[in-house]
Structure 1
Amino acid sequence: MAEGMVLAPIPREKRISKKDFREKYVKPQKPVVIEQLIEDWPAYEKWSLEYIQEKAGDKMVPLFDDRPISSKFKFNEPHTEMKMREYIELLKKGPTSYRIFLYHLLKEVPALQKDFKFPKVGLRILKQIPMLFFGGEGSKVFMHYDIDYANILHVHFHGKKRCILFPPSETRYLYKVPHALIAREDIDFTDPDYNKFPALKNAKGYITELNHGETLYMPEGYWHQMTYLTAGFSMSLRAAPRNLRNLSKALYNLFIMRHFDNYMRKLKGQRWIDYKNEEAIKRTNKRNKITQ
């Protein structure tokens, strides 16, 4: 890990009671990995790339890659699509940048809903939207926070994934792109260029590696960057923000910010994207009194 980047290991609990989870992690808004939260799910034994291929092989799935955000695509618009069977074959062949992002596979294949149950951990989980994410070896999800400021239980299957998190308090150091939910995409958070992004030296975050069946709790508004160390997939269960201020931010993001950003991309094209990236550096350095 690059010198100067302060990333503490995310705490781990083998098992945890509802009361302890709420008191130790939800109320203070601290992340945790729960290693055996889902061992009673059928999915714990059954879910693999081969199983998903068998059950959902004919479904067309939206795919994203690691190309920089551009004015050619709307907010969260996929780059291409293919059948799930073909995509999993691609994952099996080796490294690929193609990922599935926020896909409601459980709605498309209702039989998969029998393989899991909503954990009773003291969160009011939104049962309508369990989402799945897939990635090939080496594929990355850029540093971002979620549009709805949800409390998230992120359950990983089939392989290993590295997760880097920053609490909302560290936003001032992360070169956040204005009118967006992301940090500058050209930042490598495993080996940052401190000459170009000096404020990152002050950022304090967390890191862990998720194995099959482990669950990462990410509190409201936490920044996260994921790297698939092997091909695999994850499920996110979401609970609405408990903090009213975060709820208001979520509503703003959903009903104003993303529509404004799509409008400006259409109006100004790549000039809008370039402007936002330049402003990310200017605003962050100014906020931290950095001159370059």
Structure 2
Amino acid sequence: MSLNLKDIPRLKSITKEDFIKNFFRPQKPVVVEQFIEDWPAYTKWNLDYIKRIAGDKIVPLYDDRPVDYKDGFNEAHATMKMSEYIDLLQSEPTKYRIFLWNILKEVPELQNDFSFPDIGLKLMKKLPMLFFGGTDSHTFMHYDIDLANIFHFHFQGEKEIILFDQKQNDYLYKIPHSLITREDIDFSNPDFEKWPALKNVVGYKTTLTHGEMLYMPEGYWHYMKYETPGFSMSLRAIARHPKNLGKAIYNVFIMRNFDNLMRRLNGQKWIDWKNNQAILRTQAHIKNL
């Protein structure tokens, strides 16, 4: 048995009008296969190029260890020179990933290799972020704190992606006061005996290759697994739907601060309580079906 996942629609190209009508307004994901072929990045960007242009930069690294109460919000698990990290990616499988690496801040000249597309949404031009990973490294299933519209461009290799919309929350073993599901769920190969509610979810899947762009609508859950070493860049536009914009404001100014306070007051007990609540609340929803 496997998750109930539909293939994300794929298009060779797309106009601004078609994107707004068929994907942004109904909040549906899409992969556009030939969207950035006029960017210098399309031919230039690979791991060797990043190593050459940013090799001396010290980069934050993250692995798949469970959340610990002592960890700060998005606190790195290790650091390394970019050149050393890329050597590691290319030599052996590693759990270490880079995420939310602001290229405008770290390597401004990379801005010359891409442009902000006219896709019908106002993109946040100060927040182009890079994400790197090695073979079999993966993110936890999560959604972004600001529930932004995300345009995700992949470079080099292949990357498996699974998406769910917010309507699936009751079946995903969502951690309360957080943006993630239970971290011990393997969404590539889930154990349905241990996590029976996952039988009820309906989602999307795709595998991105070099130069392809994925649109992820506001608040979509996403799980990403690198089939081979590679990296991606995300551009984002603020949530436009009032309900999602309200959730984003709550997450940034209330939920995050409340969670950090409870970690300081209760330590690991708070993390353990949340993990247990994810199971109890999901089981309660299943009983009500």
Q: Do both proteins adopt the same fold according to a TM-score greater than 0.5, normalized to the shorter chain?
A: yes
Measure the CA separation in 1 of the matches of 2:76 and 2:265. 20
Measure the CA separation in 1 of the matches of 2:131 and 2:104. 12
The counterpart of 1:115, out of the listed 99, 113, 116, is 113
Map of 1:47-62 to 2, 5 A cutoff?
47-62=45-60
Shift of 1:74: 1.2
Shift of 1:101: 1.0
Shift of 1:183: 0.6
Scaled by the length of structure 1, what TM-score is found? 0.97
> SS of 1:287's equivalent?
helix
Structure 1 position 278 matched with structure 2 position 276: yes
Letter in 2 for 1:262: N
Letter in 2 for 1:41: W
Residue equivalent to 2:234: 236
Shift of 1:288: 2.2
Residue equivalent to 1:68: 66
Q: Tell me the percent identity.
A: 62
Residues 104 and 126 in structure 2, CA contact (< 8 A), matched pair in contact too: no
Residues 13 and 34 in structure 2, CA contact (< 8 A), matched pair in contact too: yes
Measure the CA separation in 2 of the matches of 1:147 and 1:215. 21
Structure 1 position 220 matched with structure 2 position 212: no
Residue equivalent to 1:13: 11
Map of 1:1-292 to 2, 5 A cutoff?
3-289=1-287
CA deviation map 1:47-83 (0-9, x unaligned): 0001001111111111101111111201211111111
Question: Which structure 2 residue ranges, 5 or more long, are not aligned?
Answer: none
> SS of 1:250's equivalent?
helix
Residues 2 and 190 in structure 2, CA contact (< 8 A), matched pair in contact too: no
Scaled by the length of structure 2, what TM-score is found? 0.98
> SS of 1:127's equivalent?
coil
Shift of 1:191: 1.9
Which stretches of structure 1, 4 residues or longer, exceed 4 Å deviation after superposition? none
Measure the CA separation in 1 of the matches of 2:277 and 2:284. 10
Letter in 1 for 2:39: W
CA deviation map 1:114-137 (0-9, x unaligned): 000011111111111010000111
Shift of 1:264: 1.3
Measure the CA separation in 2 of the matches of 1:230 and 1:105. 22
Letter in 2 for 1:58: D
> SS of 2:251's equivalent?
helix
CA deviation map 1:124-176 (0-9, x unaligned): 11111010000111101010000000000000001110000001111111010
Moved more, 14-23 or 184-193: 184-193
Shift of 1:235: 0.3
Measure the CA separation in 1 of the matches of 2:281 and 2:67. 20
Residues 2 and 189 in structure 2, CA contact (< 8 A), matched pair in contact too: no
Measure the CA separation in 1 of the matches of 2:246 and 2:102. 25
Shift of 1:4: 4.8
> SS of 2:116's equivalent?
coil
Measure the CA separation in 2 of the matches of 1:233 and 1:26. 25
CA deviation map 1:226-258 (0-9, x unaligned): 000000000000000010111111011111111
Aligned-pair Cα RMSD in Å: 1.1
Letter in 1 for 2:165: P
Count of residues in Structure 1 that have an aligned counterpart in Structure 2 = 289
Letter in 2 for 1:185: E
Letter in 2 for 1:107: K
